Amino acid sequence: MSALQVHIEGIGLWSPALSDFAALKAQQHGLPVDAPTARPQASTLPANERRRAPDSVLLAVEVAGQAVAMSGRAASELPCVFTSAYGDQLISDYMCATLASAPAELSPTRFHNSVHNAPAGYWTIATGCQASSSAISAGRASFGAGLLEAATLSLAEQRAVLLVCSDIAGTGPVGEMSGTRSSFGFALVLSPAVTAGTLASLAIELQPHADHPLRPAPATGEWHETNPIAASAWPLMQNLAAGHGDCTLAAAETLALRVVLETLA
Amino acid sequence: MSVPIQPLAVSAYTVTSALGQGLDSHLAALSSGHGGLRENDFSSAPLACWIGRVDGVEEAELPAAHASWECRNNRLAWLGLQQDRFLEQALDARLRYGAARVALVLGTSTASIGATEEGYRHLDADGRMPAELRRPLIHAPHSLAGFVAEALGLEGPCLTVSTACSSSAKVFATAERLIRLGLADAAIVGGVDTLCDSVLFGFNALELVSPEPCRPFDQARHGISIGEAAGFALLERVDHAPHAPRLLGYGESSDAHHMSTPHPEGVGAELALRDALARAGLRAEQVDYINLHGTASLKNDEVEAALIARAFPSTTRASSTKGFTGHTLGAAGILEAVFALLAIRHNVVPGNLGCTDPDAACGPQLALQSEQRSVNVALSNSFGFGGNNACLAFGRAPA
């Protein structure tokens, strides 16, 4: 099986310390960066939707909007894949707590915002996108599985695809189970062919039975260890900031993706 | 417009719902016209409604080796895997192709949130998850696929699709792409959703739950009845199972309209339908049967009825089977894909249980009673919150 070749045309990124991909690059070069506002702005959403949208949606829409803007493509034309290990943990905590105490008082809005595809729903509504949209999850391999799903969609359909990977910080008993202590989002616009907008190219190869390299390294206290998407995407983010490099990402329990990143001269 | 795909063989399939465990009980229900709904005896607080509950889930203990995945949703998955020799055929596919060459793509909307809810009802003295439920893997959307991957020993691509009520229809599309690109030789697809307070009280809060057994497409319908189900299918290239029924195509789209109500003109639903027909290389008049989404919510049925009436000739038959099973949410895609496959295997059009006076929007396609007639091509519609639409096309293997 030959490697999957996809080409990156846009990158979005948000963490409590980094407002976008430019901030990551600056930080990697040892330059000072300003922290973003406390909540992602998600300016793609109309103002009334932004007020109503839950945190998981704001985060996903923020990074999706950054990546699509960088690509110069129309969001309405991009099939999209949203991936998240835990979905909206604030809503999960609210719902489970309410169901335990006063189930009949459950908020209908929070219920329909609790679906794992809420970010995909808000995004496609805000951008008028009628192409396919998906919402997936794969535990701590959610980033790699999302990259594989988006790359296969792009190549099978020969269309540019938006990939959005995000998890918000958890809270309450369910937050303790997820161990997610910070919010992080990362988005890529992937194209099946090199275009004038190509920023970098990825060659992705499946490496099965890869039990050992997929075990998390011992904790070092780095910020990205507090979020499953950040932890798993960190090697690729560093390569993107550097413009080259290869890394191994988890796509399933024992399935690795070897991802070689090159920037065309 | 999408281009036709190479069909895939659906070489094994099974389903378990309120109608019983395995295919025979589902076929028998279609023949007898007896549904599986009962008065709600499930929620942790009283709620007057009808549900499609599966008997025997509580007894389907997981093997000791997989005890860390214990929860009601995974018990239903385990129960479902053992019907119709599916487990055996899945393990055989692993043997034939190798563990890393069989993909696993499962849909669920709530996974094992029921176990998380239970934890919140019994928090320990410090307000933390009780010790017995302090198992992080079951408090995540990937709980179902994680368990099934371990139980089947699969090591290929593995992911959960969670797009509300289209989840386990979209799994067919993901699997087809993985096989088409050579990343897998076969795929196990399916979905499991179990009853839980989140959906019972959630849909109740949205005023979408019927106080009586749901009546899809009836003028007097009052909303949905929630059910639970587990279903699985094995997909592989047709040369490995030339006589098996086929996945001919699929369509996926987004409404871009509203989080919890469908597009009033059914624009997204029609895009998914046209996409499925284009990939299958089919014209509307070649479709013998359509298993409709038909939830019995006021809006869905009105929009979907109008779509079928305008897009198909009267020779195409159509029905919702949710009057039999309830709306099984994230498992509805696979459950109703299996109804479409049963329609082909047994040349039977399922009747639209619960409907006596069809909505004015319904065309002549609606089959109120089960009918014996030739079914060579069958579609299944699945539409979810967030305006997420999928349509599947299945066909009989050429003679």
- Predicted confidence (pLDDT) per residue in A69-124, tens digit: 999 999 999 999 999 999 999 999 999 999 999 999 999 999 999 999 999 999 99
Inspect the interface and report whether the beta carbons of A95 and B164 lie closer than 8 Å: no
Short-list A3, A9, A19, CA closest to A185: A19
**Would residue A204 count as lying in a domain?**
no
* pLDDT surpasses 80 at B159: yes
Q: Pick A202 or A264 by higher pLDDT.
A: A202
Find the angle CA(A224)-CA(A228)-CA(A230) to the nearest 5 degrees. Answer: 40
Q: What is the pLDDT of residues B81-114, one digit of tens each?
A: 999 999 999 999 999 999 999 999 999 999 999 9
Rounded (10°) CA dihedral B327, B331, B335, B338: 150
Mean pLDDT value of segment A200-210: 96
Give A205's DSSP letter: E
Q: Tell me the HSE value of A60 on the side-chain side, using a 13 A CA sphere.
A: 32
Q: So what's the pLDDT on residue B135?
A: 98
State the complex-level ipTM: 0.98
Q: What CATH number is attached to the domain comprising A164? A: 3.40.47.10
Residue A240 to chain B, least CA–CA distance (Å): 24
Tell me how crowded residue A220 is: count the other CB atoms within 10 A of its CB: 7
Q: Per the CB < 8 Å rule, is A99 touching B44?
A: yes
Cα–Cα distance between A189 and A193 in angstroms, integer?
A: 12
Helices in B206-297 by DSSP H: which ranges? Answer: 267-280
In a domain, residue A226? The reply is no
Residue among A221, A188, A182, A230 at smallest CA distance from A40: A182
Structure tokens at A166: 């995000």
Task: Tell me, yes or no, if B327 is annotated catalytic.
Answer: yes
pLDDT for A220: 86
Partners of A181 on chain B (C-beta within 8 Å) are none
Report the pLDDT averaged over residues B227-242.
98
> From the list A4, A132, A209, which residue is nearest B100 (CB)?
A209
**Residue of B222, B327, B355, B391 with catalytic role:** B327
For the cut 70, the answer to whether the pLDDT of residue A213 exceeds it is no
Tell me which chain B residue has its CA closest to the CA of residue A79.
B253
A17, A153, A260, B140 from A92: Cα distances, Å = 25, 30, 37, 10
Residues of A in contact with B255 (CB under 8 A): 124-125, 130
Distance from CA of A21 to the nearest CA of B (A): 27
Q: Kindly state whether residue A29 falls inside one of the protein's structural domains.
A: yes
Q: Is B281 helix (H, G, I), strand (E, B) or coil?
A: coil
Mutate to test the interface with B, among A137, A158, A178 (most CBs of B within 10 A): A137
Query: A252 and B141 in contact by Cβ < 8 A?
Result: no
Alpha-carbon distance of A84 to A120, in angstroms, equals 11
Give the DSSP H/E element, type plus range, for residue B131: none
B215-224 per-position pLDDT tens digit: 999 999 999 9
Q: A-contacting residues of B 350-379, CB under 8 Å?
A: none
The mean pLDDT value for B49-66 works out to 97
Q: How many domains does chain A have?
A: 1
Domain extent, residue A151, equals: 4-199
Q: Please name which of B155, B156, B161 lies closest in space to residue B173, comparing C-alpha atoms.
A: B161
Q: Is B165 a catalytic residue?
A: yes
Q: Where does the pLDDT of residue A222 fall: very low under 50, low under 70, confident under 90, or very high at 90 and above?
A: confident
- Provide the b/e sequence for A84-120 (b: ≥16 CB within 10 Å): bbbbbbbbbbbbbbbbbeebeebebebbbbbbbbbbb
A to B CB pairs, distance under 8 Å: 235
**How many angstroms separate the CA atoms of A159 and B51, rounded?**
42
For residue B26, CA distances in Å to A49, A200, B82, B107 come to 43, 52, 16, 21
Q: Helices marked H in A72-210 — which ranges?
A: 89-101, 108-113, 118-127, 142-157, 172-178
B8-395 is a CATH 3.40.47.10 domain: yes
A1 — pLDDT class (breaks 50, 70, 90): low
Q: Is the pLDDT of residue A265 over 70?
A: no
pTM score > 0.95 for this model? yes
Of A36, A100, A94, A103, nearest to A63 by C-alpha is: A36
The closest CB to that of B387, out of A100, A124, A174, belongs to A124
* Residues in chain A within 8 Å Cβ distance of B134: 177
**Catalytic one of B196, B222, B293, B355:** B293
Flag whether pLDDT at A264 surpasses 80.
Answer: no
Amino acid identity for residue A260 in this structure = V
Question: What single-letter DSSP state applies at residue B326?
Answer: -
B158 part of the active site: no
pLDDT of residue B155: 97
